[in-house]
Chain A
Amino acid sequence: RKEVEQDPGPFNVPEGATVAFNCTYSNSASQSFFWYRQDCRKEPKLLMSVYSSGNEDGRFTAQLNRASQYISLLIRDSKLSDSATYLCVVNIGSNDMRFGAGTRLTVKP
């Protein structure tokens, strides 16, 4: 079983749609969780951290379920500029980050 698993997609959605990505992780001792965004042939950039109580940043909402070892990202009112690959990242301890392979999103006009 992979340490961090994501649906690779691609997700193709129209502008204005709501889209949700899921991620599962295998290490129950994982300490912290993140969503990163990676544009084609570019470096990953932090989108948001994921806290136990769930958190929101504008159109983006992240949820964490430690019991099920599951993380989600919800994007509302999708924009063309949201097209990217979204990486689920899990800190398994001592800043040792494990990355999912990513979920590709394309937002179409």
Chain B
Amino acid sequence: DAKTTQPTSMDCAEGRAANLPCNHSTISGNEYVYWYRQIHSQGPQYIIHGLKNNETNEMASLIITEDRKSSTLILPHATLRDTAVYYCIVRESFGNEKLTFGTGTRLTIIP
């Protein structure tokens, strides 16, 4: 699986958009970008995934650059409940289902 690089920590004001970057410069053509988050020792929670097109769901948006070497997770209106560690994971969807978690970004939403 391709390695990812994320900032160790970020702050965001409540109500503002939180933009979490991820670099995955060694990503291969059949690897997807996944985002999970973990709220204070709870089980990780799936957020969104994408291959090369931008994706949006009820939780977040995922913007992947054209060269696929980086991506940004956007939480459009951050709330205090979004305070968590966010993990960017790159993996194939076929043949290798395990998730390889890095250190993630600790996002703190400030009131």
The answer to whether A and B interact is: no
The chain B residues found within 8 Å of chain A, CB to CB, are none
The chain A residues found within 8 Å of chain B, CB to CB, are none
